[in-house]
């Protein structure tokens, strides 16, 4: 447990951990009825990023949770199996960026089937040009 807490709160994994804390607080406010899950839909359009079709809060929450899981999990693997040294330190600095990129790709794949649950959200079809075929 100590290793997990050190991985989650140590550098550089503290960045996705802080983002996850913000997301958890947001969803607690949604559960209490203080805010709505669709409050950010007018502020951001995620269709260009491949995450259209669900509310912005859902897409960003999934992205944050996946990035945190990948970042902390990879940091734990590096702690357990990589020998200490400069290469390991460099890998630990690259992990959050790589985890964010991987989480973005996974989130794009995850929101496609979720679009059916949010029929009033604009999806990826609205992003294509009229003569363009679906990929």
- Give the pLDDT of residue 24: 94
Give 93-101's long-range contacts (Cβ < 8 A, gap of 24+): 93/12, 95/12, 95/13, 95/71, 96/12, 96/13, 96/15, 96/16, 96/67, 96/71, 98/70, 98/74, 99/16, 99/67, 99/68, 99/70, 99/71, 99/74, 100/16, 100/63, 100/67, 100/71
- The residue-averaged pLDDT of 93-101 equals 87
Quick: pLDDT tens for 5-62. 877 777 777 888 898 999 999 999 999 999 887 777 766 777 777 777 788 888 889 9
Q: Which is higher by pLDDT, 62 or 85?
A: 62
Q: How confident is the model at residue 102 (pLDDT cuts 50, 70, 90)?
A: very high
Q: What is the pTM of this model?
A: 0.77
């Amino acid at each position: 447990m100590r290793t997990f807490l050190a991985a989650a709160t140590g550098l550089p994994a503290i960045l996705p951990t802080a983002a996850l804390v913000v997301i958890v607080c947001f969803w607690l406010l949604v559960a209490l009825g203080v805010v709505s899950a669709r409050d950010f839909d007018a502020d951001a359009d995620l269709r260009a990023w491949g995450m259209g079709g669900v509310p912005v809060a859902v897409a960003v929450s999934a992205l944050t949770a996946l990035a945190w899981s990948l970042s902390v999990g990879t940091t734990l693997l590096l702690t357990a199996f990589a020998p200490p040294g400069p290469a390991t330190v460099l890998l630990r600095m690259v992990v959050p960026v790589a985890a964010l990129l991987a989480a973005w790709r996974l989130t794009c794949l995850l929101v496609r089937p979720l679009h059916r649950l949010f029929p009033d959200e604009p999806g990826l079809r609205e992003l294509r040009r009229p003569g363009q075929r679906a990929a």
